[in-house]
Amino acid sequence: MTHDGIKEVVEKFAQTGRRVKGAGFDAVQLYGCHGILINNFVSQNINIRTDEYGGNTENRARFIVEIVKRARELVGSEYPLMIKMNSDDFFDGSLKKDEAISI
């Protein structure tokens, strides 16, 4: 995925939060588990990028952080915004509980 593609997807995730709020729901939950795109960014086994979206934990979490920051701009600081993500990918060299907690 190109950097422009990442920015576009971040915006689409964030705009979805805005739409959910506008539709009258009490909260929005981003889904980042089980091989879905968000999970693919944080998993060190799947994410083999060598740019600012790959490598260490901070870089692999950047996609999530950018989504949350942009969504916050759109839904405000008081609207509940949650992320469901794996705490363990259950295979060697993958996301584990301590790293998931730090993300």
Band of residue 70 on the pLDDT scale cut at 50, 70, 90: very high
Q: Which tens digits make up the pLDDT trace of 7-65?
A: 999 999 999 999 999 999 999 999 988 888 999 999 888 899 999 999 999 999 999 99
Structural domain spans, the chain: 3-102
What distance in Å separates the CA atoms of residue 11 and residue 97, rounded to the nearest whole number?
28
- Position 44 scores a pLDDT of 86
- Position 35 scores a pLDDT of 80
pTM for this predicted structure = 0.91
- Position 81 scores a pLDDT of 96
